Amino acid sequence: MEPSGRVIVPSVPVTPCPAAAGPVTGGQICAQALVQFDAVAVSGANEYRVKPCALVTTLTPLIVAVFSAAPDPAAPEALDGVPLRLYVFARHGESTASAANVLSSDPSGPVALTARGRAQARSLGAQLANLHIDLAVGTRLPRTQQTIDIALDGRRVPTLIEPGFDELQAGDLEGAQIQAYRSWRNHHTSSDRLPHGESIDDALQRYAGALRRLLARKETVTLVVVHELALRYLTTAAQTGSSPVTGTAIRNAVPYLFDERAARRAAARLDALTLSAQSQPGH
């Protein structure tokens, strides 16, 4: 991805603090190498509210991937006179389903966070502790709501449930091993529906609609906890380049920051993907 020359820094640098010195983890490498990400400058009217102390004062440094649409020189820094908004996307903490490598898309299923997933949610909360958050958004699946509850414990942040970000509906593959889905996918297209489930294209349409509903709201900073598939497509669609993130691991409870233009770009690209698939012969 080519850097845009604009960097998202909520008042302070995004680097590991001295307390995190020692063996360097992959996450710390990401934090030290933000040049690989595209971001947006935040200052003046567009400055997000944070506490004056550094965001990275704990042993868990703020590890983020930052996405911004390529700036339009003719466009103002605010849309319609309103400061640009920030969307913090994250995958939920590890669940019993992901730990067992099984498909889980039924909101009524008994799938909760593991002990490791709860620790990941607490780590997410520590990374966001100094960022003012106006709204949290989860899906109908309890693991996203549990991640929000733990990450924002003690903070008065309203939570909105957005079914449009729900997991891909697995149908007859509900509860099956992930490998069963991968085998099925290798012999089908994105427009093919899982038996009694939905297609990737169906899910992408849902994601685009959910994102547009968020964009229609007025909150300045929104935390959105979703699932791996949704976050993978959202991060890909938000990039200014065309490099996919197919082979990139989407870690549990790691924040990805989108400015408003990046979120709008992602919604438009997801719409374009589904329209392109629908126009293919035989669709």
Per-residue pLDDT of 105-153, as tens digits, reads: 999 998 999 999 999 999 999 999 999 999 999 999 999 999 999 999 9
How far is CA 126 from its chain centroid? 17
pLDDT tens for 171-210 read 999 999 999 999 999 999 999 999 999 999 999 999 999 9
Query: Is residue 98 pLDDT above 60, yes or no?
Result: yes
45 in any annotated domain: no
173 in any annotated domain: yes
- Token output for 196: 């009694």
| Cβ(106)–Cβ(68) below 8 Å | no
Query: Is residue 66 pLDDT above 70, yes or no?
Result: no
161 in any annotated domain: yes
Query: Is residue 102 pLDDT above 90, yes or no?
Result: yes
What are the φ/ψ torsions at residue 103 (nearest 5 degrees)? -80, 135
28 in any annotated domain: no
Which is more confidently placed, 101 or 18? 101
Segments of the chain assigned E as strands: 65-67, 86-91, 135-138, 159-161, 221-226, 256-259
Position 21 confidence tier, pLDDT thresholds 50, 70, 90: very low
Query: Is residue 46 pLDDT above 70, yes or no?
Result: no
Query: Which residues, in sequence order, are CB contacts of 48 under 8 Å at separation 6+?
Result: 10, 11, 42, 86, 131, 132, 220, 221
The rounded distance, in Å, linking the Cα atoms of 124 and 129 is 9
Domain that holds residue 149: 80-278
CA atoms within 13 Å, Cβ hemisphere of 216: 6
26 in any annotated domain: no
Segments in 50-95 forming alpha helices (H): none
The CATH number of whichever domain residue 125 belongs to comes to 3.40.50.1240
272 in any annotated domain: yes
Percent pLDDT > 90 in the chain is 60
- The per-residue pLDDT for 240 is 74
Position 27 confidence tier, pLDDT thresholds 50, 70, 90: very low
263 in any annotated domain: yes
**How many domains is the chain built from?**
1
Beta pairing class for 86-91 and 256-259:
antiparallel
6 in any annotated domain: no
